[in-house]
Chains A and B, each alone.
Chain A
Amino acid sequence: MAKVVAVTGNEACANALRQVNPDVCGIYPITPQTDMMQRYASYISDGKVKTEPILVESEHSSMSACIGASAAGGRVITATSSQGLALMWEMLHIASGDRLPIIMPVVNRALSAPLNIHGDHSDAMGCRDTGWIQIWSENAQEAYDNTIQAFRVGEHMDIRLPVMVCMDGFIISHSIERMEYLEDAEVQNFVGEFQNLYPLLDLDKPKSYGPLILTDLYHEYKRAQHEVMLKVKNVVLDVAKDFEKMSGRKYGLFETYRLEDADIALVILNSAAGTSKDVVDDFRSRGIKAGLLKPRLFRPFPYEEIAEALKNTKAVCVMDRSDSFGGYGPLFMEISSALYQLQQKPALINKIYGLGGRDYLPSHGELVFNELNEIAKSGKINIIKEYIGVRE
Chain B
Amino acid sequence: MATPLTLKELSKKEDLLTHGHRMCSGCGAPVVVKMVLMATEHPVIAANATGCLEVSTCISEYTAWKIPWIHTAFENAAATLSGVETMYRSLKKQGKIDKDVKFIAFGGDGGTYDIGFQSLSGAMERGHDMIYVCYDNGAYMNTGIQRSSATPLGADTTTCPAGSVIPGKLRARKNLTKIMAAHNIPYAAQASPSHWMDLMKKVQKAHSYEGPKFLNIIAPCNRGWRSKTNDAIALSRMAVNTCYWPLYEIENGVTKITSTPKEKIPVVEFMKPQGRFKHLFEPGNEALLQRVQVEVDAEWEKLKNAEKCGC
Interface, chain A (partner B; CB < 8 A): 23-24, 26, 50-52, 54-58, 60-62, 64-74, 76, 90-91, 94, 98, 200-203, 206-214, 216-217
Residues of B in contact, count (CB < 8 Å): 47
One of A51, A58, A209 near B118 (C-beta < 8 A): A58
Q: With A68-B84, A206-B65 given, is the CB distance from A52 to B89 under 8 Å?
A: yes
One of B59, B69, B87, B119 near A201 (C-beta < 8 A): B87
A contact residues around B65 at 8 Å (CB): 206, 208
Contact digits for B55-74, partner A, Cβ 8 Å, 1 yes 0 no = 10011110101111111110
Contact B69 A61 (CB under 8 A): no
Which residues of B75-122 are within 8 A (CB) of A? Answer: 75-76, 79-91, 93-94, 97, 99, 101, 118-119, 121-122
Nearest A residue (CB) for B123 = A61
Q: With A61-B119, A65-B83, A210-B70 given, is the CB distance from A23 to B54 under 8 Å?
A: no
Contact A210 B76 (CB under 8 A): no
One of A201, A206, A208 near B91 (C-beta < 8 A): A201
Q: How far is the CB of A232 from chain B (nearest CB, A)?
A: 23
- Report how many A-B pairs have Cβ atoms within 8 Å: 164
Q: How far is the CB of A162 from chain B (nearest CB, A)?
A: 13
Complex formed: what's the CA distance from A68 to B118 in Å? 17
Q: How far is the CB of B179 from chain A (nearest CB, A)?
A: 15
6 more CB-based (< 8 A) A-B contacts, given A61-B122, A65-B82: A58-B122, A64-B119, A68-B80, A94-B73, A201-B84, A214-B59
Complex formed: what's the CA distance from A165 to B225 in Å? 50
Q: With A74-B87, A200-B45, A211-B60 given, is the CB distance from A68 to B79 under 8 Å?
A: yes
> Is the CB of B144 closer than 8 A to any CB of chain A?
no
Nearest B residue (CB) for A60 = B76
Which residues of B9-51 are within 8 A (CB) of A? Answer: 43, 45, 47-48
Q: How far is the CB of A108 from chain B (nearest CB, A)?
A: 25
Complex formed: what's the CA distance from A207 to B79 in Å? 19
Contact A71 B79 (CB under 8 A): no
Write 11 A-B pairs (CB below 8 A) sorted by A numbering: A58-B118, A64-B72, A64-B119, A66-B83, A68-B82, A69-B83, A201-B88, A206-B66, A210-B72, A211-B59, A217-B60
Contact B79 A50 (CB under 8 A): no
Report the 5 A-B pairs with minimum CB-CB distance, sorted nearest first: A68-B83, A57-B122, A65-B83, A72-B87, A210-B71
Complex formed: what's the CA distance from A92 to B85 in Å? 20
B contact residues around A69 at 8 Å (CB): 83-84, 86-87, 90
A contact residues around B118 at 8 Å (CB): 57-58, 61
> Is the CB of B125 closer than 8 A to any CB of chain A?
yes
Contact A64 B83 (CB under 8 A): yes
Q: How far is the CB of A332 from chain B (nearest CB, A)?
A: 33
Complex formed: what's the CA distance from A384 to B177 in Å? 60
Contact B93 A64 (CB under 8 A): no
One of B84, B89, B123 near A200 (C-beta < 8 A): B84
Complex formed: what's the CA distance from A60 to B122 in Å? 11
> Is the CB of B291 closer than 8 A to any CB of chain A?
no
Complex formed: what's the CA distance from A209 to B82 in Å? 15
Nearest B residue (CB) for A67 = B72
One of A76, A94, A98, A201 near B97 (C-beta < 8 A): A201
Contact B69 A94 (CB under 8 A): no
Contact A203 B68 (CB under 8 A): yes
Contact B68 A207 (CB under 8 A): yes
One of A51, A72, A98 near B88 (C-beta < 8 A): A72
Q: How far is the CB of B73 from chain A (nearest CB, A)?
A: 6
Contact B90 A209 (CB under 8 A): no
